[in-house]
């Protein structure tokens, strides 16, 4: 017991000596105020970055037309999940966790169960993300990127409307319509008329309904040949008639899988290329949506 | 004002304003408590003096961050908690605490003073005997509640966890202590029984020899 008291007294004496000699000094009030201010600023930056990511995710889903896939049952849902920007979502979840960890320095946060602080943080970020999407923040940046004003960052925006490689949503302007054809036109990849579920039959034999479209993006210069050189042959599902449904000049979104393609699709920005794609391919469609009607009849 | 009438918070305010000697008063009041907390929490730490000294040095350096409208004890215990955790980290290789799932959802909290009073004597006995068997996160909460006699709210501020988590962690620690205590009692009873059996056999064989 006495040994304990001696130990304690020695510590007290040592600490007081260090204080009196100036070896140990009090930190100023300003230091702590700045520390809290820095914490608040970092938390706000994390919040804003996270909200930007959410709004970009919403914007990219909307602009690329991937949201439209949700209306096409299991196939559409699968394609939606495959083409979903998971990387952004994961990055955003990490930002939510970081935001919650920063908030945890404050009494109101650490006294609240984790499920509520994480939930509230996620809700704030999602609402801020929707808010940013509503004020056309990304629309403006998208235009800037299309005009090559954003440098390397612009690639994030111009890549949004690049046609997918295998499955997803393809945006295009209808160039010609072919009804009840029994063979692919010359120059297009062959299509097996015998086995596909896209093939209908009448007295004249198996036939398909199809149309051709070229890549369409209203935000890029449509006069540029390289921007719109990708041409697709779209084969429609059995029972879907092209006549009266799509006509040349219509801008459409096509949900489908690529059967065959040639050419390139690149998203380089900052140089000469701006999300260009060239070549041709065949898409087996399971969903079509008209975005705007063309003038041609 | 005589020193005995000065509250911890008033003393802290005087230190903040430059009265260095009043820090001695605060050390006087907390040195025994922080030593006791440290000894129990850092059971394997040899340099407890250095660690406690470190707590007081950090407290002095950061005293201007203390809000004098709040209670002083959770503030200095928070510094002690962080310093002790760092000391444990230095000597152990693995992580001290894993993720605590009890912080995820809310747990109802009810501190019944009557139950607390009747349980206290019994629990303090168990704490003395079984503290070493508990994992660090349960051990610390038991020390803060039964040895340091801090409230749930104060413990929540020291450990920076929800008040409900303090309650559920304490409940689990008590169950673990009781279980350990019962197992130990049963083992001792078995030992006593076998000793009595041996003595009885010895007596009987002695009588037969006679």
In this predicted model, what pLDDT tens digit does every residue of A243-274 receive, in sequence order? Answer: 777 888 888 888 888 877 676 544 333 333 34
Same domain? A185 vs A284: yes
Please enumerate in sequence order all residues whose Cβ is within 8 A of that of B17, keeping only pairs 6 or more positions apart, or say none: none
A4 vs B22 pLDDT, higher one: B22
If you measure CA to CA, which chain B residue comes closest to A116? Answer: B105
For A10, half-sphere exposure in the C-beta direction (CA atoms, 13 angstrom radius) is 11
Task: Name every chain B residue with its beta carbon within 8 A of the beta carbon of A8.
Answer: 31-32, 35
Residue A19 has its nearest CB partner, among B20, B64, B105, at B20
The reply to whether A155 falls in a domain is no
pLDDT for A227 equals 47
A43-47, A277-281, B45-49, B87-91: range with lowest mean pLDDT = A277-281
Same domain? A181 vs A119: no
Q: Tokens representing B103?
A: 């912080």
Residue A104 has its nearest CB partner, among B57, B160, B165, at B160
**Nearest residue to B76 via CA among B91, B88, B61, B87:** B61
Same domain? A268 vs A199: yes
Q: How many domains does chain A have?
A: 2
Last residue of a domain, one of A86, A116, A135: A135
| pTM as predicted | 0.72
Burial class (CB in 10 A: 0-12, 13-18, 19+), B194: exposed
For A293, half-sphere exposure in the C-beta direction (CA atoms, 13 angstrom radius) is 5
Task: Name every chain B residue with its beta carbon within 8 A of the beta carbon of A4.
Answer: 32, 35
Same domain? A265 vs A192: yes
Write the class of the CATH domain B101-209: mainly alpha
Residue A294 pLDDT grade (very low, low, confident, very high; cuts 50, 70, 90): low
Q: 3-class secondary structure for chain A?
A: CHHHHHHHHHHHHHHHHHHHHCCCCCCCHHHHHHHHHHHHHHHHHHHHHHHHHHHHHHHHHHHHCHHHHHHCHHHHHHHHHHHCCHHHHHHHHHHHHHHHHHHCCCHHHHCCCHHHHHHHHHHHHHHHHHHHHHCCHHHHHHHHHHCCCCHHHHHHHHHHHCCCCCEEEEEEEEEEEEEEECCCCCCCCCCCCCCCCCCEEECCEEEEEEEEEEECCCCCCCCCCHHHCEEEEEECCCCCCCCCCCCCCCEEEEEEEEEEEEEEECCCCCCCCCCCEEEEEEEEEEEEEEEECCCCC
A15-29, A279-293, B57-71: range with lowest mean pLDDT = A279-293
Task: Name every chain A residue with its beta carbon within 8 A of the beta carbon of B166.
Answer: none
Is the pLDDT at A175 greater than 70, yes or no?
yes
Same domain? A111 vs A168: no
A144 vs A120 pLDDT, higher one: A120
User: For residue B49, which phi and psi values (nearest 5 degrees)?
Assistant: -60, -50
Same domain? A263 vs A175: yes
Residue A204 pLDDT grade (very low, low, confident, very high; cuts 50, 70, 90): low
The reply to whether A23 falls in a domain is no
Count of CB pairs separated by less than 8 Å, A with B: 79
B160 CA: distance to closest CA in chain A (Å): 5
- Options 1.10.1740.10, 3.90.550.10, 3.40.50.1860, 3.30.1240.10; which CATH number does B3-91 get? 1.10.1740.10
Q: Where in the sequence is the domain holding A181, given as residue range(s)? A: 162-292
The reply to whether A20 falls in a domain is no
Asked if A8 lies within 8 A of B106 by C-beta distance, the reply is: no
A147 CA: distance to closest CA in chain B (Å): 48
Residue B56 has its nearest CB partner, among A11, A20, A104, at A11
B60 CA: distance to closest CA in chain A (Å): 6
Same domain? A121 vs A239: no
Same domain? A69 vs A168: no
pLDDT for A271 equals 33
Q: Does the interface predicted TM-score (ipTM) exceed 0.90? A: no
Asked if A12 lies within 8 A of B27 by C-beta distance, the reply is: yes
Asked if A111 lies within 8 A of B165 by C-beta distance, the reply is: no
Task: Name every chain A residue with its beta carbon within 8 A of the beta carbon of B29.
Answer: none
Over residues A114-121, the mean pLDDT reads: 89
pLDDT for A233 equals 85
Helical pair B8-16 and B21-41, crossing angle rounded to 10 deg? 120
Same domain? A40 vs A128: yes
Q: 10 Å Cβ neighbour count for A252? A: 24
The reply to whether A222 falls in a domain is yes
Share of chain A above pLDDT 90, in %: 19
The residue with tokens 């209908």 is A200
B47 and A CB contact within 8 Å = no
Distance, CA of B84 to CA of B52 (rounded, Å): 9
Residue A222 pLDDT grade (very low, low, confident, very high; cuts 50, 70, 90): very low
A200 and B CB contact within 8 Å = no
Touching A: B residues 139-158, CB under 8 Å? 156-157
For chain B, the domains span 3-91, 101-209
Same domain? A273 vs A200: yes
Residue A297 pLDDT grade (very low, low, confident, very high; cuts 50, 70, 90): very low
A97-106, A179-188, B143-152: range with lowest mean pLDDT = A179-188
Asked if B56 lies within 8 A of A8 by C-beta distance, the reply is: no
B184 CA: distance to closest CA in chain A (Å): 29
Residue B8 DSSP SS3 = helix
Task: Name every chain B residue with its beta carbon within 8 A of the beta carbon of A11.
Answer: 27, 31, 49, 52-53, 56
| Contact present, A224 and A273 (Cβ < 8 Å) | no
Q: Give the CA distances from residue A79 to residues A66, A72, A110, A233, A264, in Å, rounded to whole numbers and listed in that order.
A: 9, 10, 41, 20, 21
pLDDT for A272 equals 35
B109 and A CB contact within 8 Å = no
Pairing of strands A167-181, A277-292: unpaired
Residue A291 pLDDT grade (very low, low, confident, very high; cuts 50, 70, 90): confident
Task: Name every chain B residue with its beta carbon within 8 A of the beta carbon of A31.
Answer: 64
Same domain? A190 vs A106: no
Is the pLDDT at A89 greater than 90, yes or no?
yes
The reply to whether A7 falls in a domain is no
Asked if A32 lies within 8 A of B65 by C-beta distance, the reply is: yes
Is the pLDDT at A117 greater than 50, yes or no?
yes
Same domain? A105 vs A193: no
Task: Name every chain A residue with its beta carbon within 8 A of the beta carbon of B16.
Answer: 26
């Amino acid at each position: 017991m006495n040994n304990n008291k001696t130990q304690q007294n020695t510590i007290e004496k040592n600490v007081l000596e260090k204080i009196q000699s100036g070896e140990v000094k009090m930190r100023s009030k300003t230091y702590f105020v700045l520390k809290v201010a820095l914490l608040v600023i970092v938390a706000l930056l994390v919040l804003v970055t996270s909200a930007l990511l959410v709004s970009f995710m919403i914007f990219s889903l909307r602009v690329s037309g991937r949201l439209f896939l949700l209306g096409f049952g299991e196939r559409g849902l699968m394609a939606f999940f495959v083409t979903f920007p998971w990387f952004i979502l994961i990055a955003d979840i990490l930002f939510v966790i970081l935001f919650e960890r920063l908030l945890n320095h404050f009494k109101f946060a650490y006294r609240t169960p984790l499920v509520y602080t994480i939930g509230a943080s996620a809700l704030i970020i999602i609402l801020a993300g929707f808010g940013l999407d509503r004020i056309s923040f990304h629309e403006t940046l998208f235009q800037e990127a299309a005009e090559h004003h954003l440098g390397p960052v612009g690639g994030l925006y111009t890549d949004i409307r690049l046609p997918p490689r295998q499955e997803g949503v393809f945006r295009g302007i209808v160039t010609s319509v072919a009804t009840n054809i029994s063979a692919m036109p010359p120059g297009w990849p062959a299509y097996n008329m015998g086995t596909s579920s896209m093939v209908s039959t009448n007295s004249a034999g198996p036939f398909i309904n199809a149309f051709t479209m070229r890549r369409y993006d209203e935000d890029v210069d449509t006069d540029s040949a390289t921007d719109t050189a990708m041409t697709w042959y779209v084969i429609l599902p059995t029972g879907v008639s092209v006549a009266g449904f799509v006509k040349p000049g219509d801008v459409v979104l096509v949900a489908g899988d690529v059967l065959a393609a040639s050419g390139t699709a690149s998203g380089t920005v900052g140089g000469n290329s701006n999300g260009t794609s060239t070549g041709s391919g065949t898409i087996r469609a399971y969903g079509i949506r008209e975005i705007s009607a063309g003038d041609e009849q | 004002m005589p020193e005995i009438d000065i509250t911890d918070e008033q003393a802290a305010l005087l230190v903040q304003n430059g009265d260095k000697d009043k820090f001695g008063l605060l050390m006087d009041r907390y040195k025994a408590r922080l030593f006791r907390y440290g000894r129990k929490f850092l059971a394997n730490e040899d340099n407890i003096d250095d660690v406690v000294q470190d707590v007081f040095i950090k407290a002095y350096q950061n005293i201007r961050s203390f809000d004098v409208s709040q209670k002083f004890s959770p503030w200095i215990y928070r510094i002690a908690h962080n310093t002790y955790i760092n000391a444990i980290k230095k000597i152990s290789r693995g992580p001290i605490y894993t993720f605590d799932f009890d912080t995820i959802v809310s747990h109802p909290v009810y501190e019944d003073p009557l139950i607390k009073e009747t349980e206290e004597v019994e629990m303090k006995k168990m704490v003395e005997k079984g503290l070493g068997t508990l994992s660090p996160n349960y051990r610390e909460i038991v020390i803060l509640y039964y040895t340091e006699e801090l409230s749930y709210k104060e413990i929540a501020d020291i450990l920076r966890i929800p008040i409900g988590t303090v309650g559920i962690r304490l409940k689990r620690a008590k169950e673990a202590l009781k279980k350990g205590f019962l197992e130990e009692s049963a083992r001792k009873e078995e030992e006593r029984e076998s000793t009595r059996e041996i003595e009885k056999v010895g007596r009987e064989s002695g009588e037969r020899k006679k």
